[in-house]
Structure 1
Amino acid sequence: MRNLINYHNAKLPKFEGDENETIISTEYDLINDSISILSIQDDEFLVIKQFQKNAQVIIIDQIPISTITDESLHFQLKSFKHLEVYNKYILILSNGNIIETSYTVFDSENIEAQTTIIGTLDSTIFAADWSPDEEQLVIITSEQAESDNLKYIIFSPDFDILSERVFSKNDLSKSKNVNVGWGNKTTQFRGKGKRQQERELLESLQNSGLSSDALKAVGGTGLNGDVDLLRDPTMPYMVDKGLTSLFDDMSVNISWRGDSEFFVVNSIEKDVLCKSFQDEEEVEVDRRVLRVFTRTGELEAVSEPVDFMENVVNWRPSGNLICGIQRKVNLQLEEDKTLDLIFFEKNGLRHGEFDTRLSIEDTIIKQITFNSTSEVLAIVTDNKILLWTTKNYHWFLKQEINIPQGIKQMKWHQEKEYQFMIITEDDNILIKQYIINTITGCAQSPNDIASSLVIDGQVANITPITRANVPPPIYYRDMIVDENCNSMAVSKHNDCLVSISINKLFIGKRDERFNFDETIIEVMKSEFVVDSNDLLRQVIVTENNIIVLIDSDLDGMSYLAILTLDGKFDRNIEVYDKIVLLKPSFDFKSITWENIRGSVFKISNIDGEDYSIEDVANLPALCSDFVVRDKIVEFKDEYLDEITTETKTYAIGLTSNGKLYLNDKLVTTAVTSFLLSDNLVLFTTAQNLLQFLHWEILNYDTIEQLPAIENLDLLNDERCRAIERGSVLVNVSTSSSLVILQAPRGNLETIYPRIMVLKQVRDYI
């Protein structure tokens, strides 16, 4: 029930002389929080430089290309690695050269660097990749200079050879794993007597005079060629030969498992003898093969043959899946022809797939890569990136990123789990930061029907949980549009569902059956943006307006587009700042946002011409989620000697490292999620507890950090209760006294906390 939200975008500035440089590769540097850049300058030098956090650029070394390769010989970079512990860069070129640049930085103006060729392989290098722990390097080369037989060499960081092995056709027969169909429909129990019904159906078809070919297609064949009514359901009608795709670039690729214990090599084995299940004679084909090796270089498994599997491969860091791409072009029905992302287990057997929803005719997949936590999968094409997440065995398309200039490379940050950088074809470096948050409706009575919104490509899903507690990946209602959604929101009264894509704003109006797709209003981006290249990032709905957060392409600053609930453009509001997160206030009457420095602002009188931007709070750290809410505070007037009231506005924010703040004061730590209801602040903790704070008695002036967990009375204190390990808050409804949590595997749990039930009982009394 969570969605990816575009939190921050940036572009590295260019300096004098950069216009003559072509960027080849980049690396995140974790120790000094910088970015290493490798580029070619004027076709004469390889330049290594670091872009520092303070926007300062340090040039490490300029390497004449003529000193590392024959200028007449075309070379290609296979690996660029910064070994920060050793203060050196390692470059591996396709012509066999392994280059080391050692450096010492005294200050930004005083750098000593030395570049040497530390080794040369006689044969072409087809692929190279370092293990995640940087303790091993795998290089794929050929056995001899002109040979087609590939081999791997495993090096230590000091380039001692640890292991090497030649690939052989015999490898394909060494994998003894057998796919018995676990998880397939054919092996699942389908009800008592279902098998007998199928046999009776086949007998009736046989008696009807159908041709033998038609009967074989339904029932399979026995050893004598007759129709087999007792066909083994685990045996397929056809077995893939492992045919290559026309889009395959014949390259070799390597991917390591996250713990550095295994790596997989995706290569083509030529002239493999094979036959399909019903063929009589063997044929030779070029088969794309995944070979799984241990850290020490022992062959662990070989993938089963898959027709039209392509060259890209990635091992999910958590270790349970190896990912590849299959282009299903050999199917008869056009609707069955799809570009799929397929999964393998470590033993080489298939383990599911899903449709990437990309065009099978002209889309080329350049990369598939997981983030460091294995939560987000990125599929990279020539000019777009698709971000996917999974829950309950369903893959959700959460974001589509369009890069018209073209994409050279995309890399995830190793520690900031939702940040990555993109090298564009026009040699710009883009930094994109995302967060994972729930998108909910109004939590204020009587509109608190616990509306939860989930994005899945062109489908904007909504479930009012108090009306229908539908388990994901099924949802109560949806709005299907013609472009992939990147953000969505629902109005205060749950009667207007809004989503934005790259180019459009979609507005769905609710009918009496809670459907939103009967009448969908489409508003083109050009009707409310300043420039056609401006980026639509987030959308919210307040009481009377739709607000779209837009990043300007000219200066990178943010502005707000205000539209009516019918899609009529009203005005643009310049905030002259960089907004990271846009949200409605708790009562849905105000627009609130957080800027890049952690300051929170709001606009209350948006319908008037004399609106003003008000300061709410300066949060001590940048928060990944926040809520702004008004509170009536009582205080004693010393002059009138009486108790008076005043309305104050507070911001409650949660940082990515689990600190919960009320304005600038720390409430508690180790928080994993939080929500507000009419009279409570709810939050889950890393200790697997759900805790409650009374909003009315939460006093900013006297607030202190909450007591440690061991000091809480879990049995008798209604403000705290245990929950399932890893569960996070999804929604809350005061009117129904319920709280919805989602477990890590994706299922929903609805609970009725004692503190909420007793509060409602007291109100009734």
Structure 2
Amino acid sequence: MRNLRNVWLRETQISSDLPLTATAWDTSSDSVVCTFGPTEQSPIIELRRKRPDAQTDDSTDHRLSREAFECLASWDAPCPLPELPCDRIEILGSVDVGISAAAWSPDEELLAITTRARTLLYMTREFENVAEITLTQADLQSSQHVSVGWGKRETQFQGKRAKALRDPTVPEKVDEGKLSGNDDASTTISWRGDGAYVAVNSIEEGARRAVRVYSREGTLDSVSEPVDGLEGALSWRPSGNLIAGIQRLDDRIDVVFFERNGLRHGQFTLRLSEEERLSWGSQIQLSWNVDSTVLAVRFKDRVQLWTTGNYYYYLKQEIPIVVDPEFSFSYSFDWHQEKSLRVVAGSATSILDLEYAFDINHGSTVIPNDVGAVAVMDGQNLKLTPLRLAGVPPPMAHNELKLDSNAIDVAFSKSGTRIAVLTQDSFAVFLWSLKTRPVPAPILESSYPLSNASTSRPRQIAFVNENEVFVLRESSPNSTVIEKTLLETRVTEVVYEAIGTRFSSVFPGIGHDSLWVSHKASKGCTYTSISSEPDDVSKVNPWYESPSVDTPWARAVSISEDEKILISMTRTGTLFANKLRSSEPRGRNGGSQDTPETDERCRSIERGSKLVSVIPSIFAVVLQAPRGNIETIYPRALVLAGIRTFIDQKKYRSAFLACRSQMVDMNILHDYAPQQFMESIQLFIEQVKKVDFIDDFLSRLKEEDVSQTLYKDTLKISKNESAVVAQPDTPAMFSAPKSSKVSKVNAICDAFLAVLQYRMDTNLQNLVTAHVCKSPPDLEAGLELVAGLRVKNPEQADDAIEHMCFLTDANRLYSHALGIYDLELTLLVAQQAQMMKDPREYLPFLRKLQQLPETRRKFEIDNHLSRFEKALKHLFALAAHEEIQAYVIKHILYKEALEIYKYQPDHQKQITHLYAEYLEGNSKPKDAAIAYESLALYDEARTCYKLAHMWRESLYCAMMASLPEADLIAHINELAETLIDEARDYVSAATVYADHLHDYITAARLLCRGSKFADAARLLTLHGKKELVEEIVDSGLAEAMGSMTDLLADCKNQLNAQVPRVTELRKLRAEDPLAFYGGDPTGGEGGVDIPDNVSLAPTEASTLAGRTMFTRYTSKTGKTGSSRQTSRNRRREERKRAKGRKGTVYEEEYLVNSIRRLIERVNTTIPEAESLVDALLRRGMRERAAAVEKALSDVMKMCADCRDDIFEVQKVEAPKTDEDEEDPDLVLRGGPAVLAESLEALEGGARAKEPPVLKSMKKSSLLV
């Protein structure tokens, strides 16, 4: 739907005695080299250069650049021109029979020449002949095209239905290759864009024209099939798929296309009347531009530019050329080799330098005039489509407007109801009734002539407001003017004139209230606005902050007075929607990055799509795909901008409908402006009105603040809003909770309930929904509402119950109805939920309940609903004590029973006894013992205390139970043995032996085992056993010293083995992390073994997509949120991690944790060692004391030396992949999560432990 717009035009008048015969671009200097002469009267040839900034008085330059090397091919010989200035032209060679055509290859390495002797020559840059091919009649037989003759006529079936049975693939008429009556017998050469093939169009001896295709090596590739009326024009599309030619028939002229194999491949007709075909429809030549987007068709005095889309060819522009009939050569035409839409056309009197740009002629993008009006120029046919009303795909259109001449440019008024069409000699204004259905074709309102001077060339037109039309035209070869015409007064005046300034284009502002002009300068471009003052005086306002480049890839749209969106596109297939000025670089002011997966402001689109129009009233952006079809999308940023505007304007219905149609989370209606929303609940209900819509909103509420999560990137709140939920403006002033953790859902539902309670007749369904949608659902309140309606309006009650059954599970609703002890309401719910309940199930049950007394009925209901605590209270009210005991035992309600019997000691003791038995049977001996002791059941209590290793309480209860002496002694011995063997509490066991069994020797030995040597010596001397101190205490010291030295030796050996290994592992990881973490991710465990002869396509479906060398452990790929491993793999990996086997990735963590545990063990050993040293010194064992202290000191020094190295925070690079950084919320599961936790612990992550603290040892002053 793009049109060609003239953005640069410069006409240079030339004066020379010789006619202009050829032009060529010099891309190194962006200049045009012109050839003048020869003529029949003069053999002189002149070369001149037109500079890019040539003025009228000095239009050409006789000097060429030093790199220039020109070649002229005359009818007789190719003539190279060496570096200029020079005094003569050197003739390198000649062709006796004459040259019929010549063309350089695109890379300028080969020159193809055809001679009048029907030969094709290949020459190098040095004009050395490398190939010579003869064009013979036998070439026509080299391409065996499909035969269309199916035998002789007499052998074919000629029955009644012969025509219907004819093969539809066979044409009724077969071309023989007859020549056109206007054929000039010329030969044409055209290279393919890559220079691999060349096509030659020439006439054969048998009065037939054929197109031969040769390879770069001179091999004949194909010959075209016969085509009647084929003329000499030929142009190979640079992209290589089509070769264009001209076919002249009796009633029309067609542009026909051939494939490289010579077969026909489509065509289109040049729209010429019979008079035009006879007058200027001759001498037709064809020329593709460099990027294959535009085909130039050259006529006798004009050039037409054609484009294609959806297999349809559009006539976009027609360039008139002033030719001199006295000269046989009319004019030259050449495309620029680098700038695809720049051309030069040279005639006898002037040189036209033109540049075009693809642009969309669209209407206003401001609400409410954004009908999406788009105009597509197609010669004298203007295709119009209001995209908001009808998305008609091209080449079709909603309306087609017939014009008197070919259109140059089109513009729409502010409302879109007026269309200004610019032609060569005038512009016309048409009225388009967009409010009529169906929309009719526009009608002519008025026409305004333009200057008829030969130097006047109109270029562009623009519409401002409804009655101001601006025309940009070249008034003279070096003067550009902008004329303003007031449609009401038909007065035309020049508002801007510039001499020597390059006007690129004119266009209206966003609001169509001013005109903008872009000036093309040597470095970028600048912009100027022209506005109308109240006294009809035009004011020119330069924009000093304008961008330095044109932005045809962007559209600015106005959502509201203070909200404007810039829609832009990138070449990589991404569409952006930002609240930015076009002069600001992306990334500034919150500019989005190219991440459509995480950023709502950008969206991936088909690569190569073009921006057609933006319709902000429906949040739509219309794109045209590369193949030509149109697509309407709704960018989330544009949708959210419109919704926020609606909310600011309190147009909640419009905002709601936008959320509903565009699938936007409806929580934004509240979260964007919570205080305003809570104050406007009544307004919301009045605007939305429809009950189903209100239900839809309430049912989608959630606690998440979507303005800070889901739509955080696009939300830019310009005003400060209170985060506290305000009171709604309703008759019943609902007060929001003051808690800082107020539930948003419940607050909104309560606010709606406060308003809807006065709309019971119309919004009963919404009331029910507000109760059910709370978190958690307030089903009881909803059922109570229905219960109140049962008496006043049974029909409403039925409807309310039916709606509640729809909103929530019917079984759950049935249980809640039963739980409020209203059997009639329960029956109503059961009847409405008959799909879930069988009447044979609930009717007998309800009938049985109806017959019971009230308290017993409530018990049965609560027991049925498994509300055992409430059921127990009903039993207590019935004074059914025996039943209570059985119920308590069955449902484990001991605590509840103790609470209800707190004022009845006898029953409370019974429940306590039952509870103690329950605790004893469930392995809770301590609690059971306390319960037994509270009931004075000491015998049971002492047994439970014994199991809980509470020896003091157990001994107390044993003595309080008045046990026989033998049983008491046996109980005390069992307690002591339990403390020694199970608890290893030697000090407590020594106390039992000394205080209760009076066995002081055994008590002293136990104290020595507990490193309490001083207490052991004191106990022996206290009870008169001094002679045993040396035997018992000294032997205990020797045994303790041996254990201590063995322990310290083991610690030293462990450190000597593990610390170097940790250092070695870290060195290996730093040197070769790939080998350390398991090698190639495509092999081994968790990888895929790929054969050498198999190629994997780089697609997202590939098993290797996004994998790194750490993927086999982390299983993290691009945007993958779950592990591919099972829970069994996780358990297996945890076992591997716990073992820390040598050579695995878990070895380092295992060793580090082992050293950590060693240091912790050393810390606990320090007090024991200090006590041992003191005891040894007291007993005169100085050498032994020194040995223990030295061994402990050595171990502590080794721990201190390795602590900083072993427990430093390591920045392990393994898990820090790009995928992790892009998706920080990735959750691993299974085996990979185990290694991730291990690596995180090593690198100092959240799971890492603090380095252990090494305590200090107090050395004895008696030792050196």
TM-score, length-scaled by structure 1: 0.76
Q: 2:613 aligns with which of 731, 734, 737?
A: 731
2:347 alignment partner in structure 1: 424
Cα distance, 1:93 vs structure 2: 1.4
Trace 1:631-646 onto structure 2 (pairs within 5 A): none
1:508·1:516 contact (CA, 8 Å) conserved in 2? Answer: no
Cα distance, 1:21 vs structure 2: 3.2
- The answer on 1:166 being equivalent to 2:134 is yes
C-alpha offsets along residues 220-270 of structure 1, whole Å, 9 cap, x if unaligned? 996265552421111222211111111110111111111111111111112
1:760 alignment partner in structure 2: 642
**Aligned AA (1:418):** L
Q: 2:235 aligns with which of 292, 314, 326?
A: 314
1:29 alignment partner in structure 2: 26
Cα distance, 1:48 vs structure 2: 2.1
1:91 alignment partner in structure 2: 72
Cα distance, 1:525 vs structure 2: 2.1
Trace 1:638-717 onto structure 2 (pairs within 5 A): 653=551, 672-678=553-559, 679-695=564-580, 712-717=594-599
Relative to its length, the structure with more strand (as a share) is 1
1:92·1:99 contact (CA, 8 Å) conserved in 2? Answer: yes
Query: For residues 498 and 674 of structure 1, do their structure 2 counterparts lie closer, same or farther at Cα, with a shift above 3 Å needed?
Result: same
Trace 1:133-152 onto structure 2 (pairs within 5 A): 133-143=107-117, 150-152=118-120
Trace 1:165-564 onto structure 2 (pairs within 5 A): 165-178=133-146, 223=156, 226=159, 228=162, 229-271=164-206, 286-329=207-250, 337-358=251-272, 359-362=276-279, 363-405=281-323, 407-426=330-349, 428-511=350-433, 512-513=436-437, 515=439, 517=441, 519-526=443-450, 529=451, 531=453, 533-564=455-486
Name the stretch that deviates more: 503-512 or 305-314: 503-512
Cα distance, 1:519 vs structure 2: 2.6
Distance 1:101 1:91 in 2: 8
Gaps (5+ residues) in structure 1? Answer: 62-81, 105-110, 144-149, 182-219, 272-285, 330-336, 624-652, 655-671
2:537 alignment partner in structure 1: 610
Q: 1:587 aligns with which of 503, 511, 514?
A: 511
- The answer on 1:743 being equivalent to 2:612 is no
- The answer on 1:132 being equivalent to 2:106 is yes
Distance 1:163 1:675 in 2: 58
3-state DSSP of counterpart to 1:172: helix
C-alpha offsets along residues 29-69 of structure 1, whole Å, 9 cap, x if unaligned? 112222222223893532223333453754259xxxxxxxx
Distance 2:558 2:464 in 1: 18
Query: For residues 702 and 505 of structure 1, do their structure 2 counterparts lie closer, same or farther at Cα, with a shift above 3 Å needed?
Result: closer
Distance 2:154 2:636 in 1: 63
3-state DSSP of counterpart to 2:539: coil
Query: For residues 570 and 47 of structure 1, do their structure 2 counterparts lie closer, same or farther at Cα, with a shift above 3 Å needed?
Result: closer
Query: For residues 746 and 617 of structure 1, do their structure 2 counterparts lie closer, same or farther at Cα, with a shift above 3 Å needed?
Result: farther
Gaps (5+ residues) in structure 2? Answer: 325-329, 647-654, 656-668, 670-1264
Distance 2:212 2:485 in 1: 55
Distance 1:116 1:161 in 2: 18
C-alpha offsets along residues 638-673 of structure 1, whole Å, 9 cap, x if unaligned? xxxxxxxxxxxxxxx45xxxxxxxxxxxxxxxxx44
1:312·1:368 contact (CA, 8 Å) conserved in 2? Answer: yes
C-alpha offsets along residues 64-84 of structure 1, whole Å, 9 cap, x if unaligned? xxxxxxxxxxxxxxxxxx9x8
3-state DSSP of counterpart to 1:171: helix
Q: 2:121 aligns with which of 136, 153, 156?
A: 153
Cα distance, 1:707 vs structure 2: 9.2
Distance 1:714 1:455 in 2: 35
1:496·1:565 contact (CA, 8 Å) conserved in 2? Answer: no
RMSD (CA atoms): 2.8
Query: For residues 569 and 532 of structure 1, do their structure 2 counterparts lie closer, same or farther at Cα, with a shift above 3 Å needed?
Result: farther
- The answer on 1:9 being equivalent to 2:6 is no
Cα distance, 1:592 vs structure 2: 1.4
TM-score, length-scaled by structure 2: 0.47
C-alpha offsets along residues 284-335 of structure 1, whole Å, 9 cap, x if unaligned? xx11111111111111111111111111111111111111111111xxxxxx
Distance 1:354 1:566 in 2: 42
Query: For residues 319 and 488 of structure 1, do their structure 2 counterparts lie closer, same or farther at Cα, with a shift above 3 Å needed?
Result: same
3-state DSSP of counterpart to 2:203: strand
Cα distance, 1:112 vs structure 2: 4.3
Cα distance, 1:179 vs structure 2: 7.9
C-alpha offsets along residues 199-223 of structure 1, whole Å, 9 cap, x if unaligned? xxxxxxxxxxxxxxxxxxxxx9962
1:391·1:473 contact (CA, 8 Å) conserved in 2? Answer: yes
Equivalenced residue count is 616
**Aligned AA (2:260):** K
Distance 2:337 2:401 in 1: 36
Distance 1:699 1:167 in 2: 59
C-alpha offsets along residues 422-463 of structure 1, whole Å, 9 cap, x if unaligned? 11133x211011111111111111111221221111122221
Distance 1:519 1:609 in 2: 28
Cα distance, 1:617 vs structure 2: 3.3
2:969 alignment partner in structure 1: none
Distance 1:567 1:392 in 2: 43
Distance 2:540 2:264 in 1: 56
Identity within the alignment, %? 31
Q: 1:100 aligns with which of 80, 84, 94?
A: 80
Query: For residues 424 and 729 of structure 1, do their structure 2 counterparts lie closer, same or farther at Cα, with a shift above 3 Å needed?
Result: same
Distance 1:610 1:754 in 2: 42
Query: For residues 514 and 584 of structure 1, do their structure 2 counterparts lie closer, same or farther at Cα, with a shift above 3 Å needed?
Result: farther
Distance 2:255 2:623 in 1: 30
Query: For residues 558 and 52 of structure 1, do their structure 2 counterparts lie closer, same or farther at Cα, with a shift above 3 Å needed?
Result: closer
1:208 alignment partner in structure 2: none
2:460·2:471 contact (CA, 8 Å) conserved in 1? Answer: yes
1:47 alignment partner in structure 2: 46
Cα distance, 1:384 vs structure 2: 1.0
**Aligned AA (1:6):** N
1:479·1:508 contact (CA, 8 Å) conserved in 2? Answer: no
Cα distance, 1:91 vs structure 2: 1.6
Query: For residues 524 and 307 of structure 1, do their structure 2 counterparts lie closer, same or farther at Cα, with a shift above 3 Å needed?
Result: farther
Q: 2:604 aligns with which of 707, 713, 722?
A: 722
**Aligned AA (2:536):** E
Cα distance, 1:127 vs structure 2: 0.7
3-state DSSP of counterpart to 1:133: coil
1:504·1:522 contact (CA, 8 Å) conserved in 2? Answer: no
2:577·2:638 contact (CA, 8 Å) conserved in 1? Answer: no
Distance 1:161 1:509 in 2: 65
**Aligned AA (1:617):** Y
1:691·1:719 contact (CA, 8 Å) conserved in 2? Answer: yes
1:521·1:567 contact (CA, 8 Å) conserved in 2? Answer: no
Query: For residues 691 and 224 of structure 1, do their structure 2 counterparts lie closer, same or farther at Cα, with a shift above 3 Å needed?
Result: closer
**Aligned AA (1:239):** V
